[in-house]
Amino acid sequence: MPIPRVLQKRLKQIVNDFSDSSIMVVGDSMLDEYVWGDVARISPEAPVPVVHVQSRSSRLGGAANVVQNLKSLGVTPFLVSLCGNDDTGIYLRKKLEQNGCKSDGLVASPHRPTTIKTRIMARHQQIVRVDSETVSDLTKEETGALWNHVSALIPRVKGVIISDYSKGVVSKPFLARILATCKKRNLFVAIDPKERHFDLYKGVSVITPNLKEAHAVLGVPNAHVNDREIEALGWKIVKKLNLPYLLITLSERGMALFERDSRTFSHLPTMARNVFDVTGAGDTVVSVYAAAITSGAKPFDAAYLSNQAAGIIVGELGTACVTPQALLAACAEK
């Protein structure tokens, strides 16, 4: 059934206001590389498929993909991140600029390579992924260079997204400094989390874990759970991390939104018609949610828009972006 006209009008106003929002993205940037091909035989050297390469492509990943998502939505994004002082870093910077995203805050480090995730694809199925990266904590020099950009940009933005992929940018002292500054300015902070850093996220505006990550917050095994168990899990996370809001993505089951002060739990069923690839879906969810909140949306409306956007993205192969037009069209569909 179509959504009520009152809600549709409200969502349209929020999306139209995206162009008045500005958001800083701090986190781990990378390049998503794809090798596309076909499989016709098994290797005589080992029981593995032989992929006949037909084409190659590359896309922005991690924090760079979040920035690209925000730009596609009409938000003014600012990236603070790290790359290597290498050809891939130069290419990453160039690709950002080709997509209309500023790369001033992308710091080139001589101490680590630019992260590349290479996916070998055969007939639209991922055969294997190869990661080229360094995941150690940043040096004082690297952290200082990033902080210079953060401190210069914070007065210019309405919110901050921390895109944590555990590649080194997000560390306890660096994140604590960012969060303390955001608290003084009463800035909205959203975090797309990674399991090993959950204790660092206490008191932020919202985190957007998937169900596996949500289990990891509490140190319990990941399992298929029903709505009642998801609700119990979410409230425990809200209490443990002192979160005003929590948005758990549930893959084919949609999303779960928790609002602490009103003690409201909302389950949003999935909007996906086809699921081809979940790569980058988390980037899209946190981007749309943050764009909506910084444009005046209530948490449920922001979650609704994020759920619609995720339904669009998982129907695409590889990382992709949602436009305001596509988002509103999805909201208007029966």
Residue written as token pair 């206490």: 202
**For the residues of 149-216, what is the DSSP string, one character each?**
HHHHHGGG-SEEEEE--SSSS--HHHHHHHHHHHHHTT-EEEEE--GGGGGGGTT-SEE--BHHHHHH
Decide if pLDDT at 91 tops 90.
yes
Q: What is the mean pLDDT of residues 275-281?
A: 58
User: 308: domain range?
Assistant: 5-332
CB-based burial label for 77 (10 Å; 0-12, 13-18, 19+): buried
* pLDDT in the model for residue 4: 74
283 among known catalytic residues: yes
Per the CB < 8 A criterion, the answer to whether 60 and 106 are in contact is: no
- Confidence (pLDDT) at 206: 98
Of 12-16, 142-146, 313-317, 320-324, the least confident: 313-317
Position 230 scores a pLDDT of 93
- State both tokens at 305: 């828009």
The total number of structural domains in the chain stands at 1
Catalytic option among 28, 277, 283, 301: 283
Verdict on whether the full-model pTM lies above 0.95:
no
The residue-averaged pLDDT of 210-216 equals: 91
CATH number for 282? 3.40.1190.20
The per-residue pLDDT for 317 is: 55
Tell me what the pLDDT averaged over the chain comes to. Answer: 91
Q: Give the pLDDT band of residue 252 (cuts 50, 70, 90).
A: confident
Q: Please give the pLDDT value at position 332.
A: 80
Alpha-carbon gap, residue 83 to 289, rounded angstroms: 26
pLDDT at 6: 80
CB–CB of 277/291 below 8 Å?
no
pLDDT digits (tens, 9 = 90+) for 26-47: 999 999 999 999 998 999 999 9
